[in-house]
A and B are shown apart, each in its own frame.
Chain A
Amino acid sequence: MSVVLVDAGGTNIGSVRYALQRLGVDAALTADAKSIRAADKVILPGVGAAAPGMARLRELGLVDVIRSLTQPVLGVCLGMQLLCEHSEESDTACLGVIPASVHKFEETPERCVPHMGWNRLSPVSSHPLLKNLEEGDWAYFVHSYAVPTGKYTLVSSDYGGLFSAVIASGNFHGMQFHPERSARVGAKLLKNFLEL
């Protein structure tokens, strides 16, 4: 099985790659359209901001490439947000392959932003990506923007209100948390993605 990591310039690419290696998969890091189209699985990692993330995909000529993929695709953290239609972060038009939009977490006295740390997962629908995932499993989050819950939500989480932790539409999937930093729960979910 060939797995590629789209090199969109994020700093967590190494971590995602090592997490896949721990599962026995050596993923190539690439920005080459042909390799991305040919892969069995495509992962779009990303730490950073939406506007530079999209700018980088445009520069690399990858916007239409990613939109037209038919194999399983997984966006992680910012990568997940880029799969959505729009992000409030710098009012950025995103890839639009998952019918969702990304909003800023509002800061309240009870809610620090960024949302940083371990939070519980709550599966809301059944999907092969969620195999063996249990109610209350912990995942590691670091983000200031989030996708509200909607029909695309597979897993929700609660941070002064529910938001989407895992989303999917067709062959496109996204995880808001960092599976590569979520201990065994994260490894389980990455393994499920590789087995889709």
Chain B
Amino acid sequence: MLSRRIIPCLDVRDGKVVKGVRFRDHVVMGEIVELALRYRDEGADELVFYDITASPEGRRVDRGWVERVAREIDIPFCVAGGIRSVADAREVLHAGADKVSINSPALERPELIDELAAAFGVQCVVVGIDSMRDADGEWRVRQYTGDPSKTRSLARRTLDWMMEAQRRGAGEIVLNCMDTDGVREGYDLVQLTAARKGCTVPLIASGGAGAMTHFRDAFTQARVDGALAASVFHGGAIAIPELKRYLQREGIVIRLQETVDHE
């Protein structure tokens, strides 16, 4: 049986892990490799590095850290942020990342998904979708959410875009539900359940984790393949070994071996 995945997301700027409001003041949390290894030891199943160095002006980004992570880490990792072309993706994948995640650039030019899938295979291509419920009750896609002053509401309905992304070659979907993001009151189970119905590739929940029960509900009710979270892990509100033991007690298939080995 395939296990459900617990995925910490780390924000990276100029080669360091940072926290803070995106594009505003950032506190450096530490060295990427050190934090990546800490999460690996705690039993993270996968890591996502969201590179917020990538500038809207399209300036070249130093990705030397990707190779440093690849040398040390022995679990899969995905790089998100600023990947706008096959060449950008190739650089990151050749440096040792297992997947790339694209979001706003795919909305600008959906063919990018086809191009990446053709060049590297669907298993390397993650499409991130930022979604919000509008006043009329429809979930629609948001673009450029990294910078609140640039964020745009699109006419595209979230689930339509998810289906299109799959058709074009997305091998995994990360659905970031912005209505619940940052509130820590749980993943958006209604939206994730709706997405699950049409999603035939792995679906990752993002936005809203605040307690261990939220992870359980995402897995048992919305049947997502993985759950992504940032602040609850970084701030220490939830410890991954404890979370995984809890989920196992709740009857969810979870990979526990690595943390057990440490005890």
Contact = CB atoms under 8 A, between A and B. Distances in A.
Given A22-B74, A144-B122, A186-B74, A116 B171 contact: yes
Contacts of B98: 12, 15, 142, 178, 181
B121 A49 contact: yes
Interface in A155-196: 158-159, 178, 180-187
Interface stretch (B22-30, B207-215, B254-262): B254-262
A27 to B, nearest CB: 14
A148 B100 CA distance: 30
Interface in A10-58: 11-12, 14-15, 18-19, 21-22, 47-49
A117 B96 contact: no
Contact of A182 (B2, B74, B123, B199): B74
Interface of A: 11-12, 14-15, 18-19, 21-22, 47-49, 107, 112-120, 136-138, 140-144, 158-159, 178, 180-187
Contacts of B96: 14-15, 18
Interface in B196-222: 199-203
B74 A115 contact: no
A167 to B, nearest CB: 20
Contacts, number: 102
A118 B2 contact: yes
A159 B2 contact: yes
Interface residues of B, number: 37
A18 B255 contact: no
B257 A144 contact: no
Contacts of B67: 14
Given A22-B74, A112-B203, A114-B202, 6 more contacts: A11-B94, A11-B120, A112-B225, A114-B171, A118-B255, A178-B98
A12 B67 CA distance: 12
B65 to A, nearest CB: 14
A184 B120 CA distance: 27
A183 B40 contact: yes
A120 B74 contact: no
A131 B83 CA distance: 41
Nearest to B77: A181
Given A114-B123, A114-B201, A138-B255, A180 B74 contact: yes
A138 B121 contact: no
B71 interface: yes
B95 interface: yes
A158 B172 CA distance: 20
Contacts of B72: 18, 22
A15 B70 contact: yes
Nearest to A120: B1
Contacts of A116: 123, 171-172, 202, 225
Contacts of A178: 76, 98
